[in-house]
Amino acid sequence: MSTLQELADLVEGTVVGDSSLPIDGVSTIQEGKPNTITFIAQDKYQKYASSTTASAIIVADKALLNGKDGILLDSPQEAIAKVLNHFAPAYSRFEGIHQTAQIDSSAKLGNNVSIGPNTVIDQNVIIGDHTTIGANNMINSGVKIGANSTLDHNIHLFHNSVIGEQCIIHSGAVIGVDGFGFTTNNDFHIKMPHNGKVIIGNDVEIGANCTIDRGTIGDTTIGDFCKFDNGVQIAHNVSIGRGCLFAGHVTIAGSTKVGEFCMFGGQAGAIDHVNIGARSILACYTAVTKDLSGGKIYSGAPAREINEKNRRDAVYLEVQYLKKRLKKLESQFLN
């Protein structure tokens, strides 16, 4: 239980109303519950402000409170993240080295490292201080994992992969597997060796069931502060700049370079050997087939600037409408 004032101090906001109001959790604004706090971050949710039964609302505009108690600040969404973390349940985690873990004698473990049941740590692995590795993980030889990182369960890190500090890798991720590289001669597919590795920067989060392929000659690299949703596929020799956000099922083909702070909507992707400029935004299902300059919003397959894509769609609809009218007029004339 916390007071509204304590939560306001936590998020560095200003209390509007009763600062001693008790709050014991968070609820959505549509399904607000008494003694909880909610938030409004998008205009479409403003209509619920007057009807919600939540006890308090975090807002950027005081007028939305309409007499209710709340917290006023510039970024309600960032604030609710802090409040959610404040009320997050404390799940128990295994600490220490489980007796069923298999750790090679050449591995170097930092201070306060935890390793869960049935995890295998191969030769010459280096694990930084305060890192937690869950159950049933396979860490191949030469892997380096930075300090304060967390690996969930059933993860495979192939040899020589590098994971930075303060990273989070969710269950089912496979990092450093061979890429899809073949050369074909007389209908015979010859596998290309993959001698590179995967290098992941600091403060990176990799979602469940993501796959990141190792490089063929060079390395596959993921910059600091990148965040991947579940099911993302990164092919061999791809370079991802820092601060990129990838929604679910994004696919990036081999040797493509993505600039820093790009955003990819769900199921967006890029073919191989293209360059995507910094701060590009790709709408859902967008397919990049050629180099894109940065700082623009793209949509469609092939990817085009969204304004051009919308114009083309409008023309297409107009043509379809005219074709129907002409067909109708033709039918009337012949009859």
Q: How confident is the model at residue 301 (pLDDT cuts 50, 70, 90)?
A: confident
Residue 273 has pLDDT above 90, yes or no: yes
Instruction: Give pLDDT, residue 168.
Output: 97
The model's confidence at residue 89, banded by pLDDT at 50, 70 and 90, is: confident
Q: Domain map of the chain by residue range?
A: 2-87, 155-302
Segment 81-87 mean pLDDT: 92
* Pick among 2.160.10.10, 1.10.10.10, 3.40.50.1980, 3.90.1720.10: CATH of 155-302: 2.160.10.10
Q: Which CATH architecture has domain 2-87?
A: 3-Layer(aba) Sandwich (3.40)
Q: Which of 170, 194, 236, 249 is catalytic?
A: 236
Region of poorest pLDDT, from 44-48, 106-110, 310-314: 310-314
Q: Is residue 236 among the annotated active site residues?
A: yes
For residue 324, pLDDT beyond 90: no
Q: Do 2-87 and 155-302 agree at the fold level?
A: no
pLDDT of residue 312: 66
pLDDT band at 66 (very low <50, low <70, confident <90, very high): confident
Reported as a single tens digit per residue, the pLDDT across 125-182 is: 999 999 999 999 999 999 999 999 999 999 999 999 999 999 999 999 999 999 999 9
Q: Per-residue confidence at 78, pLDDT binned at 50, 70, 90?
A: very high
Give the pLDDT score at 309: 66
Residue with tokens 């496979």: 174
